[in-house]
Amino acid sequence: MSELSVLIEIDGGSRGNPGPAAAGVVIKDAADGQVLFAGGFYIGRATNNVAEYAGLIRGLAKAAQLQARNVAVRSDSQLMVFQMNGLYRVKNQGLRPLYEQARQLARQFAQFTIDHVPREENEMADRLVNQALDLKQDVEE
């Protein structure tokens, strides 16, 4: 059996900062681009950065459930990507536990990378954020 490699596209957003917030997660098979999971998660009142981390945590947890071994994450949150890559310190005490949880989840994979992408390359995850925000509940495609 071959090792599963996945691409996780994540986005988080809040309407107001803080305000109603949600995260979007799209997990694709890295080999053929097939969507293995797509969902939006309503998280209640939070900041945009908390929503971004919530998306990362949900995405990594879902990848673990799928028994992925190699994970590549793409996010349009430069702050989160740079924090996860050690380029920025996590100064916000509200983000620190989320950062620690994401780091712990990332360690379980044989390979983990996270890269910053322009918002245009994250359209499906962004759409899931907005669906969850509009409905004020979790959504799955």
What's the Cα-to-Cα distance from 95 to each of 15, 41, 66, 85, rounded to whole Å?
A: 18, 18, 26, 15
Beta bridge partners of 6: 29, 71
Compute how many other C-beta atoms are within 10 angstroms of the C-beta atom of residue 32: 6
Q: If we measure between CA atoms, which residue out of 65, 67, 21 comes closest to residue 46? A: 21
Domain with residues 4-135, CATH architecture: 2-Layer Sandwich (3.30)
Handedness of CA 111, 98, 96, 53 (dihedral sign): positive
Q: Output the pTM of the full model.
A: 0.96
Would you kindly state where each structural domain of the chain is located, as residue ranges?
Answer: 4-135
Q: Which of 97, 56, 101 is nearest to 74 (CA)?
A: 56
d(CA 126, CA 13): 8
pLDDT in tens, 83-106: 999 999 999 999 999 999 999 999
Q: Give the separation between CA 78 and CA 75, rounded to whole angstroms.
A: 8
For residue range 14-65, what is the model confidence (pLDDT) as tens digits? 999 999 999 999 999 999 999 999 999 999 999 999 999 999 999 999 999 9
